[in-house]
């Protein structure tokens, strides 16, 4: 096998063989453990955005690795025209921490969104319109993209799937005004991730729930990014005291293994009957073993409590930083889902952090996004915050702004 030993070698081979659909930083990751990754040249980085939110337990969590090894030696894939012992157990765990219902397993977040759209349409019996939010993000497959409230992602892919009505986020009157006799559902991220870490107010969520009840609409919570403990609760809708009818999950759910899920209230779930929906890999034994390992880790390592405790410290330090740094307009989020809105371009800050071996993300051009692993140690979190603080020191900000102006980051 050919070995590529430098960052540039690997980037060159990507340029030659891999479709250029992603904005990539010049970092070739060869190993990950907890909140740390190593590049092909052996440099170590601290990752506050591990796996785009997928590695919520950190990279290579030992229990997830154990589950993969153990299950792979028994059977990796069993088709869905048979049963295996793990799918119902993974589904039961999900129902126990959310609401009484049934689960459909997918392979990704977008597929969970597609499933929800199909479920809502079938449940609507002729009603097919779904109200979605501005700046939302629901994935890149065509219907999920059509549901996404960001025209920049949709350009060039028209005609979009019809039936989505987009309204401002956190605006109950706008939803009320968008209702028609054809409306069947409202789709919401309780905290918009890609849209800039924007938090739905509890009053808004409760109002949407009431509206859905009054008009016989399904409330669909896309918790693909917020779910499985990220915000300090199992799901971000929970502190508001409401329950959605459909809950969409992926990312942290599989601990790194690609798997998604839709939890649907029982009466809603039953509108999908044999032959109406399927995916070849969904709910395979390997994925379900990973879900069970994630649950075990969450419970035994008390990760919800950990997130709640450490996030107080995380937000306190970031808010103190915001007091000192005029470039920071606002710090927002919940638990381990943090947005730092800047008054200018955030990408030079991301680059400057990477130069100091700290990985973070920037979304919407001006919002730095942190999604630390729930297993991060306090010492690692403090080290990451110290790096971020140093990058925000006046000199650094000046120098990164000039770096940013000569080396603009590529966009998809
Ligand atoms: C809220 C939300 N929904 C849906 C998706 C799509 O998930 P996937 O990329 O697994 O298809 C994402 C991905 O970032 C997301 O954040």
DSSP string, 357-376: TEE-EEETTTEEEE---TT-
DSSP helix/strand/coil, 346: coil
Query: Does 146 lie in the same domain as 278?
Result: yes
Q: What is the pLDDT of residues 6-26, one digit of tens each?
A: 999 999 999 999 999 999 999
For the beta sheet containing 29-33, the strands, ordered from the edge strand earlier in sequence to the opposite edge, are 29-33, 36-39, 44-47, 358-359
260 alpha carbon to ligand 1 midpoint, in Å? 10
Query: Does 216 lie in the same domain as 117?
Result: yes
Enclosing domain of residue 127:
75-300
Q: Does residue 406 surpass a pLDDT of 70?
A: no
Q: Does a structural domain hold residue 411? A: no
Q: Does residue 412 surpass a pLDDT of 70?
A: no
Query: Does 293 lie in the same domain as 357?
Result: no
Q: Name the helix (H) or strand (E) containing 133.
A: strand 129-133
Q: Does residue 402 surpass a pLDDT of 50?
A: no
Query: Does 373 lie in the same domain as 355?
Result: yes
Give the residue from 300, 321, 340 where a domain finishes. Answer: 300
> CB 154: neighbour CB atoms within 10 A?
14
Q: Does a structural domain hold residue 1? A: no
Is 391 in contact with 349 (CB distance < 8 Å)? yes
Closest ligand 1 atom to Cα of 248: 3
Closest ligand 1 atom to Cα of 189: 1
Query: Does 97 lie in the same domain as 22?
Result: no
Name the band, by pLDDT with cuts 50, 70 and 90, for residue 276.
Answer: very high
Query: Does 84 lie in the same domain as 48?
Result: no
Closest ligand 1 atom to Cα of 192: 1
Give the residue from 300, 326, 361 where a domain finishes. Answer: 300
Give the residue from 300, 327, 356 where a domain finishes. Answer: 300
Q: Name the helix (H) or strand (E) containing 328.
A: strand 328-334
Q: Does residue 41 surpass a pLDDT of 80?
A: yes
Name the band, by pLDDT with cuts 50, 70 and 90, for residue 4.
Answer: low
Q: Which of 56, 189, 251 to mutate to test the pocket of ligand 1 (most atoms within 8 A of CB)?
A: 251
Query: Does 135 lie in the same domain as 190?
Result: yes
Q: Does a structural domain hold residue 360? A: yes
Span of 4-8, 28-32, 66-70, 298-302 with lowest mean pLDDT: 4-8
Query: Does 383 lie in the same domain as 287?
Result: no
Q: Does residue 78 surpass a pLDDT of 60?
A: yes
Q: Does a structural domain hold residue 68? A: no
Q: Does a structural domain hold residue 67? A: no
Residues with CB under 6 A from ligand 1: 108-110, 113, 137-139, 189, 193-194, 222, 224-225, 250
Q: Does a structural domain hold residue 69? A: no
> Catalytic annotation on 12?
no
Query: Is the entire prediction scored with pTM above 0.75?
Result: yes
206 alpha carbon to ligand 1 midpoint, in Å? 24
Average pLDDT over residues 390-397: 75
Name the band, by pLDDT with cuts 50, 70 and 90, for residue 5.
Answer: confident
Query: Does 24 lie in the same domain as 98?
Result: no
Q: Does residue 294 surpass a pLDDT of 80?
A: yes
Is 378 in contact with 372 (CB distance < 8 Å)? no
Q: Which of 110, 133, 226, 244 to mutate to test the pocket of ligand 1 (most atoms within 8 A of CB)?
A: 110
Query: Does 332 lie in the same domain as 260?
Result: no
Is 174 in contact with 204 (CB distance < 8 Å)? no
Task: Please state, rounded to an integer, the average pLDDT across all residues of the chain.
Answer: 95
Q: What is the pLDDT of residues 229-271, one digit of tens each?
A: 999 999 999 999 999 999 999 999 999 999 999 999 999 999 9
The CATH number that applies at residue 112 is 3.40.640.10
Q: How many domains does the chain have?
A: 2
The CATH number that applies at residue 46 is 3.90.1150.10
53 alpha carbon to ligand 1 midpoint, in Å? 10
Average pLDDT over residues 335-351: 97
Name the band, by pLDDT with cuts 50, 70 and 90, for residue 411.
Answer: very low
Q: Does a structural domain hold residue 380? A: yes
Residue-level pLDDT at 395: 55
397 alpha carbon to ligand 1 midpoint, in Å? 31
Closest ligand 1 atom to Cα of 226: 1
341 alpha carbon to ligand 1 midpoint, in Å? 21
Is 138 in contact with 147 (CB distance < 8 Å)? yes
Per annotation, catalytic residue among 39, 47, 222, 245:
222
Q: Does residue 224 surpass a pLDDT of 70?
A: yes
DSSP helix/strand/coil, 339: strand
Closest ligand 1 atom to Cα of 223: 1
Query: Rg for the chain (alpha carbons), in Å?
Result: 21
Query: Does 351 lie in the same domain as 277?
Result: no
Q: Does residue 397 surpass a pLDDT of 70?
A: no
Bridge partners, residue 46, by sequence: 36, 358
Q: Which of 109, 256, 262 to mutate to test the pocket of ligand 1 (most atoms within 8 A of CB)?
A: 109
Q: Does residue 410 surpass a pLDDT of 50?
A: no
Average pLDDT over residues 164-171: 98
Query: Does 398 lie in the same domain as 310?
Result: yes
> Catalytic annotation on 137?
yes
Q: Does residue 214 surpass a pLDDT of 70?
A: yes
> Catalytic annotation on 49?
no
Percent above pLDDT 70 for the chain: 94
Per annotation, catalytic residue among 251, 257, 265, 295:
251
Q: What is the pLDDT of residues 102-116, one digit of tens each?
A: 999 999 999 999 999
Residue-level pLDDT at 304: 98
Per annotation, catalytic residue among 137, 164, 169, 336:
137
138 alpha carbon to ligand 1 midpoint, in Å? 5
389 alpha carbon to ligand 1 midpoint, in Å? 30
């Amino acid at each position: 096998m050919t070995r590529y030993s430098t960052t540039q070698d690997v980037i060159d081979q990507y340029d030659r063989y891999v479709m250029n659909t992603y904005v990539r930083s010049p970092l070739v990751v060869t190993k990950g453990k907890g909140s740390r990754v190593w590049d092909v040249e052996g440099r170590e980085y601290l990752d506050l955005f591990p796996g785009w939110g997928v590695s919520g337990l950190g990279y290579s969590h030992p229990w997830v690795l154990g589950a993969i090894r153990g299950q792979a030696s028994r059977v990796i894939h069993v088709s869905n025209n048979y049963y295996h012992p793990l799918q119902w157990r993974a589904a039961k765990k999900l129902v126990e921490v959310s609401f009484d219902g049934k689960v459909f397993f997918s392979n990704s977040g977008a597929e969970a969104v597609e499933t929800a759209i199909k479920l809502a349409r079938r449940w609507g019996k002729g009603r097919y319109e779904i109200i979605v939010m501005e700046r939302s993000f629901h994935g890149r497959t065509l219907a999920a993209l059509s549901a996404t409230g960001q025209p920049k992602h949709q350009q060039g892919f028209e005609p979009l799937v019809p039936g989505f009505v987009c309204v401002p986020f956190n605006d109950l009157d706008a939803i009320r005004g968008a209702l028609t006799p054809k409306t069947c559902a409202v789709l919401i991220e309780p905290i918009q991730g890609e849209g800039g870490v924007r938090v739905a107010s509890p009053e808004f969520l409760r109002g949407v729930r009431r509206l859905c009840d009054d008009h016989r609409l399904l409330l669909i919570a896309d918790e693909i990014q917020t779910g499985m403990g990220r915000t300090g609760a199992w799901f971000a809708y929970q502190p508001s005291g409401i329950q959605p009818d459909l809950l969409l999950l992926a990312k942290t759910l599989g601990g790194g293994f690609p798997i998604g899920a839709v939890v649907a209230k029982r009466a809603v779930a039953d509108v999908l009957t044999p032959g109406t929906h399927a995916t070849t890999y969904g709910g395979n034994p390997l994925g379900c073993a990973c879900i069970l390992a994630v649950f075990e880790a969450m419970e035994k390592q008390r990760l919800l409590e950990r997130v709640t405790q450490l996030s107080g410290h995380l937000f306190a330090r970031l808010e103190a930083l915001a007091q000192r740094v005029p470039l920071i307009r606002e710090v927002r989020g919940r638990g381990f889902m943090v947005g730092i809105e800047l008054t200018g371009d955030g990408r030079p800050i991301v680059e400057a952090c990477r130069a100091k071996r700290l990985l973070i993300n920037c979304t919407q051009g001006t919002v730095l996004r942190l999604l630390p692993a729930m297993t991060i140690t306090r010492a690692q979190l403090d080290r990451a915050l110290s790096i971020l603080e140093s990058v925000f020191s006046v000199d650094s900000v000046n120098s990164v702004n000039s770096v940013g102006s000569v080396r603009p980051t590529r966009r998809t």
